[in-house]
Structure 1
């Protein structure tokens, strides 16, 4: 039985102590934090170059296409690349762990309901 005075972690108080959950969170953070920092640095570089390096950004690359246009389009490319990389990463590393935890939570939830009914 769950102690009502204990701090609540929702319907699955055990999950925060499970090593698989700890690994799930760590894996997520190892991917998301560096990628977010890199993207923000890349975006900030683009913005600062647009504001302070106008001559560089106005440099023609091919025809009427300049560095600013290339950098702007690369912002979209990098965004879609990150989304694709995260999808592959999540399918390979996060989904198996979260699926196992979800299954165990369903089993434990069913067991707790059975215990509650049998105690009544």
Structure 2
């Protein structure tokens, strides 16, 4: 079997997977998750940055009788929100993306063998 034949098989397999309805559904589900969550996180992050620049009185407000202020809490919540989004995405991917991706992977392997 020549090297050219292997490349042609792989190219055909990629085309078959790309044109599959499951692949289009996988891309749609991924985009419908990622775009809103990315927008929400960016708005939250930019609000934090804006408050640090233009609402210093609010951000320096102490919480109770501690040395903890609003800016510190907001900063820690940036980390928390990152981990929450990652956990939510992991659950989403396991339930909604991985089954489709596994099927597409099997289809790709079948097409390469033809």
With normalisation by structure 2, the TM-score equals 0.87
Residue 69 of structure 2: aligned partner: 66
User: What does 1:42-53 correspond to in 2, within 5 Å?
Assistant: 42-53=44-55
User: What does 1:72-91 correspond to in 2, within 5 Å?
Assistant: 72-91=75-94
Number of residue pairs the alignment of both structures matches: 103
> Between Structure 1 and Structure 2, which shows a larger proportion of helix residues?
2
Structure 1 runs of 4+ aligned residues shifted over 2 Å read: none
RCO greater where, 1 or 2, for CA within 8 Å and sep 6 or more? 2
User: What does 1:11-22 correspond to in 2, within 5 Å?
Assistant: 11-22=13-24
With normalisation by structure 1, the TM-score equals 0.82
> Between Structure 1 and Structure 2, which shows a larger proportion of strand residues?
1
1:28 aligns with 2:30: yes
Q: Could you tell me how far apart the structure 2 residues matched to 1:69 and 1:80 are?
A: 17
* Structure 2: segments with no counterpart, 5+ residues: 1-9
Residue deviations 1:48-90, cap 9 Å, x none?
Answer: 0000000000111131110000000000000000111111100
User: What does 1:88-99 correspond to in 2, within 5 Å?
Assistant: 88-99=91-102
Note the aligned Cα RMSD (angstroms).
1.2
* Structure 1: segments with no counterpart, 5+ residues: 1-8, 112-120
Measured after TM superposition, the shift of residue 102 of structure 1 is 0.2
